[in-house]
Chain A
């Protein structure tokens, strides 16, 4: 077909589509679509019976984005800041706005420190993490790990060999460095 002003020919008519697909065209009129228009001023429909929410008690100092004028009246209370990861995260919130890459990269660094610290704490307790049950890897046996992958042409399987290197690589590298440091100290 040459490039003309004509639109491509429809493969199925409205009648054919209506017969084949339950509800075809039920929301053809944009007026029937709840997200149209995008902004619809209607504060009366939300159920709010306040102009500004009652402020939640701030039991521990709560970090906030410097792009906010104040601590929002309501906030999550899960996992308050603590330790080294908490210090990194608080620095990220207090020093950098959300438009700065440093803000997010510091938060990611805080996540890594949090994870490492949690692993170390686990090792030092009487109930260390169980990598077999807590990673869910046993589902590889119970949920067909092999048949779900082999012969299916999955793109993720083709590069799956990299995953152990990426996941274990950090720990192996850290272990090597730790051993080297200990040996170095021992030689002195």
Chain B
């Protein structure tokens, strides 16, 4: 839940497009170039950008220091219009966007602008070492990519937890993961302990975030009544499912107000909690290699392609998880 989301703002932080016009100081792009645009708006020159923390840029978001700039993601994230439109303004065109390589599929390029980069980043934050057991909460796009990426980093087991069987099926086929439907277990944390020799997983990744279900009180107070920054059900399960001394990677998005997170358990178990919005462009060179080598096929998870004029239906379908929807794509010039 992101406060200061204004009526009239265009959403959309994951987009590619064709350059229509460039500003006078732009050196590296020209009209007609096909570009992929990271969801981060960033200057490339501040204290944080100079250190690779592009998602934490200090020069682009006057509304908050608690988050960087993000296209189409509320005024709390800078008040930038997003890409679900025919035109979008992209500041710092020599820093963020890249020309889409000729060999790259458009949909793969699109998914690199957030979902794939974020899932891959989430696995990295887990500090996975050879043979680790990694549990991923959430089998949406980010969770699927995080699970897939965990193998690249040498995981010995990858377990994906969700409540939707069609998504768990995708976790098995796309991400080669073991799967658990939390609705089939009275206590998912106890189940996770049983399946990890009663130690717990080495790494847990929260790929759910603010709208997590599975605990009625948490869900109602956050997703419905907005009394919390998010429903930390998945995060609390992650904290309780991981072994003592383990690592939690948080990729799920939460709002800036308080949430009922079990920090006591995290402290007493000596956990390492790592998290951030993904600095997208930093991930690209290595992800390009993985795609070219055939290790990753990003658009395997795309389930729907929605014309821009039907975007309202697309939103409802995705939100309500209709028609086995996992990853819908909005197509601006769809015929």
Is residue B263 within 8 Å, beta carbon to beta carbon, of the partner chain?
A: no
Shortest CB-to-CB span from B187 to chain A, Å, is 14
Is residue B270 within 8 Å, beta carbon to beta carbon, of the partner chain?
A: no
Contact across chains for A155 and B95 when beta carbons are under 8 A apart: no
13 A-B pairs with C-beta separation under 8 A: A12-B156, A14-B130, A27-B286, A40-B51, A42-B52, A53-B43, A56-B91, A107-B4, A136-B311, A143-B323, A143-B325, A148-B320, A148-B323
Number of interface residues of B (CB under 8 A): 105
Is residue A173 within 8 Å, beta carbon to beta carbon, of the partner chain?
A: no
Chain A: interface secondary structure? Answer: loop
Nearest B residue (CB) for A66: B65
Nearest B residue (CB) for A14: B130
* Chain A: number of interface residues, binned into ranges: 35 or more
Task: Tell which of B14-22, B100-108, B234-242, B277-285 binds the partner.
Answer: B277-285
Query: Given A65-B65, A115-B7, 18 other A-B contacts at CB below 8 A?
Result: A22-B295, A25-B154, A27-B152, A28-B153, A34-B285, A41-B50, A47-B95, A48-B95, A52-B45, A63-B62, A67-B65, A72-B60, A78-B80, A107-B76, A108-B226, A148-B321, A153-B163, A156-B213
Contacts from B to A (Cβ < 8 Å) = 1, 3-10, 25, 27-28, 41-45, 49-54, 58-66, 69, 75-76, 78-81, 89, 91-92, 94-95, 121, 124-125, 127, 130-131, 133, 149, 151-154, 156-157, 163-165, 176, 181-184, 196-199, 213-214, 216, 219-220, 224-226, 255-258, 279, 282-283, 285-286, 290, 293-296, 311-317, 320-325
Contacts from A to B (Cβ < 8 Å) = 1, 3, 7-8, 10-12, 14, 17, 20-28, 30, 32-36, 38-43, 46-54, 56, 62-65, 67-68, 71-79, 85, 89, 93, 98, 101, 104-105, 107-108, 110-111, 114-115, 117-118, 133-140, 142-145, 148, 152-156, 159, 162-163, 166
- Checking A8, A33, A35, A93 against B279 with a beta-carbon cut-off of 8 angstroms, the contacting residue is A35
Contact across chains for B197 and A24 when beta carbons are under 8 A apart: no
